[in-house]
Structure 1
Amino acid sequence: MAFQRAAHPAATRAYRDTEDEHPRLPGNMQRDSFAALVERVAPHLGVGRAAANTFVRLASMTRPSDWTSPDRSPVIYAAAGEVAKMLDRSQVRTRVITAELERAGLIERRTAANGSRSRAAGTGLYFGAAIARAAELMALDDQLKAERQQAIFLRGQRSTHKRHLTCALDRLFEISPHCPEAKAIRQEVEAWPSAERLHCMDLAALESHVDEADRLCRTVLDLLDKREEPNGETFENNRPYLQDTTEESLVSCNETVDKRSAGKPAQDRSHVVPPDGGPNCREKDEGAASGALKSEYIARLGPQRLFDLASPEMQLYLSGRAEPEYLRFHDFVWAAERRVPELGISPDAWNTAREVMGEDSAMLSILVLDARKSEPGHVIFKPGGYLRAMTERYRRGELYLIRSLIGLSERQRVGQGS
């Protein structure tokens, strides 16, 4: 980003506060929180780290009340040499830094003809210009925060796409070692930027890269589908899944839950952890691909059924991927990750859920949480805390996801008047 070095208008004489008008910080904002705000946004104002830190230190030399008072402004009257001593810098370096802050419109230097400063003469380092820009700086801070959150989300999605793509490629090479499309895609993946380099990409480039990663992943899954079943019937379409919307149908595919011993619900976790050992396992029965490719819940219920139980918001995302009956595990994880920030769930809560439950159960937990939040009269005030509670219950063997699906199905059936 090229920084503009010309003086900001707020540093010019026209922006100086008059004798009877002094800008003050808005709302409950105080001196120190404002100085911290300036330090956060400083790089986007063309202000280096040293100058930003100096602003914070200079602000600390003023009276806190001056930043919120309607009849005075914060100012440092000390001579330049004295300020340099307080900052433990040379006068030359201090002069360069204060000039940098002035060009950015964060301070204003008022000096007498001989360069002196004094209260009597009304000369010194004034902070009114920065205070007058408080709303602008707060908006910039909000924008930067949103961009950081979006970058975190995109890096997380790239990680998911790469993980699923790598597993799909490994499986594809097992059953079709000489597939030319797979070889070309693997070479392309090897040229992808590293996880570290993703932090240096701007949002537009990062979003474009993530979209391409998703496209490649879906391409490999298509290739894998065509080779999984010799008769041409793909793995995704050959799974048993339920056709009706009754509670009994949901129970039928969770038979082990109903047959568990009374008083020992935590001992039978087959309804929580897939029988092949969970979605994070390596390859298992009959050469099945890693859990990153399949979902026990989709295999049991079918993608159409899970789609029907999802919230309208998640359904909107899923509808843009494929017809419900052709949705894959990758699509459901992709949609769940889209809903995570929209629900106000932190990346940490989502990552913890995936680590503890595995991607399969974590995805379904988001689907259930999201669907319940959309129910009339049902309010989940803190979805992040709700997900953490689900994660902890899973850790204790007390999370019954199929039971939650049964509840969603029943409430949906009652709501439809069937």
Structure 2
Amino acid sequence: MQTHISTTPFGRRSLTLGMISSQVTAKTAPADATVHKWQVFADIKEVRIALGATDRALAILNALLSFHPETAFYGDSALIVWPSNEQLINRANGMSPATLRRHLANLVDCGLVIRRDSPNGKRFARKGQGGEVEEAYGFDLSPIVARAAEFKDLAEALKAEKKAYRRVKERLTICRRDIIKMIDAGIEESVPGNWGRVLQSYQTIVARLPRTAPRQVLETIVAELEDLWSQIRDVLESFVKSTNMSANESQSERHIQNSKPDSKIDSESRLGIKEEASGSAGEASNVQSLPRRELPLSIVLDACSNVVWVVKSGEIRTWRDYLAAAELVRPVLGISPSAWDDAKAAMGEREAAITIGAIYQRQDQIKSPGGYLRSLTDRAKAAKFSVWPMVMALVRAKLDATKASGAAEETVATAERVMRTEKRLEISDALRQTMGKWDRDK
């Protein structure tokens, strides 16, 4: 081999401190070190992004390794290969010469190979009489041996990080699922507690979750969710213990009966919900005379403006947005999933959502929103309920409040537009009486 090893690149390429650092590192390889070149290459692929290597650069490195006849690399062996650009292009899947040069420079910058350029920049080797290589100019692969342990440690650390990230994502998914289902169970089984506030706490935590987050951020959010999970779990377990589940069969049967919707209606009625489904002939004729046209979304939002508060964007532009907002409002009001499903089945999804919005608008005046919704659902099943008088009563109340306080003319114009809508639809006297009844119920 040559007595003087080239340390500077040929031509206009400048020498950098990074190149010198790579050359210094290559000299630190122990003479007795032995590595498997393809195993080291597998580690390099794992940590490619951390090293700053491109995927094309690794394709070239793969080609360079294939030009060395030995699979095992030793610390004291000559590891210089001298393929031409044409040979490299053929083994690197036919990339262009400009692309080849650019990614060869990337390999040098990353310290994966070292340039050993000849005086004229050509790559070649001179052999002695015995066929042994005496001088070689090309690419030195000694960093593969010198940095093999570093690549292995980086690959193992990256695998551990990926495993930890996957586990925290699994914890996040399971914790979110458990919290939502436990909140639904608490509402469904009438467990005492402010479940609306619990849901708001959950939504506040989840709202801080970015679309793509590092593991440390996920760990913080999961820790808060697990704390909330523990609190909810304690409440549910305490309630189960207090009901003495080990009692006799009759007690268990009575507990199950009390959890059914029919019994819940009775308990909610005792809380002060006024029964409106009287089923009188006057009310039946009134419902028959209600407008058959669907309510415009703009009027619904004028009447039930509080629904916008629960929307993260602060805007509701379509019925789909409104239905999604109603799904968020339902647990805040403490309405059980079964009551919500019954309402959608009896009224239709859109009218049930409008009803939820109206109840949310008057939540400070309704003692038990769940019982009230079940009452309206029963009326809807008997074809004695429509959302029109409910919405119109809210609009009229807003109009009266606006006129009394001398608020902005824009709101007055909106309310007057609603009144023109009433006139255009020829609302009956019976409907106006029902609207007045809603005003009196407040």
* TM-score normalised to structure 2 length: 0.44
In terms of fraction of residues, the more helix-rich structure is 2
Bigger radius of gyration among the two: 2
* TM-score normalised to structure 1 length: 0.47
